[in-house]
Amino acid sequence: MSLGRRSFIGALISASVLAGCSFSSKYMRPVSGPFVIQPVVDRATVVFIRPSSFGAAIKPTIVDGRGRFMGDAEGSTFFVRELEPGPHLFLVWAENTGPLMANLLPGRVYFVEVAIKPGAWTARAHLLAIAPRTEQWANVREWLRDAEPRTSDVAAGNAYLAERRDDVGDRIQRAREAFGELDAPERDARTLRPEDGVAQGFTR
């Protein structure tokens, strides 16, 4: 492992420790009142949901393959992003990269579980596809009911990532490599197919 990469991982671990001072992300905003998730004609709607509060001090940042800020996954919360249709890579800024590949259709709603598990130094985050074909699909409505909705401060998040452009590029490259090393079942669990989206709304 290069010195630069060791320093980068060390910075991540330090950030995780510091995050223990607060379970809230400065890049996420609470939402009051009813929250409606619905398809958009010319966009794909992606719901990132972290159903558990395990490792609540860890708030992994989710980034896409273009280095754009999607949101911070706080414990027992979810957030929604409307994105352009087509292929996407999503990854987490954590001890690992937890990559997920997606091919999104317009007018569909897709779900991604942010699962937190123990790691060697800090908790590891994994992005897992949730779809009618997966076991987790039966939990979606309960998870939405029990989790708190958030909105992303996209401008502030992107500004922060722009300051660390080289680190972001390194993470994206590592995520692509990590996805390529997965076996077939693991890759399937971390892939959203076009048909995994649903053309229906959800109210929380």
Question: Mean pLDDT per segment of 10 residues, for the chain of length 204 residues?
Answer: 43 39 83 93 98 88 98 97 98 94 98 88 88 97 96 98 96 98 97 98 92
171, 60, 77, 65: which is closest to 116 by C-alpha?
60
Angle at 149 between CA 146 and CA 153, to 5 degrees: 155
- On whether the CB atoms of residues 113 and 98 are closer than 8 A, the answer is no
- Distance, CA of 166 to CA of 168 (rounded, Å): 5
The confidence score (pLDDT) of residue 32 equals 87
Give pLDDT, residue 22. Answer: 55
Give me the pLDDT at residue 33, please.
85
Closest CA to 126 of 199, 41, 48, 24: 48
pLDDT on residue 58: 86
**In contact, 116 and 56? CB cutoff 8 Å:** no
Residue extents of the structural domains in the chain = 3-203
What pLDDT is recorded for position 55? 81
pLDDT for 6 equals 42
pLDDT given at position 120:
65
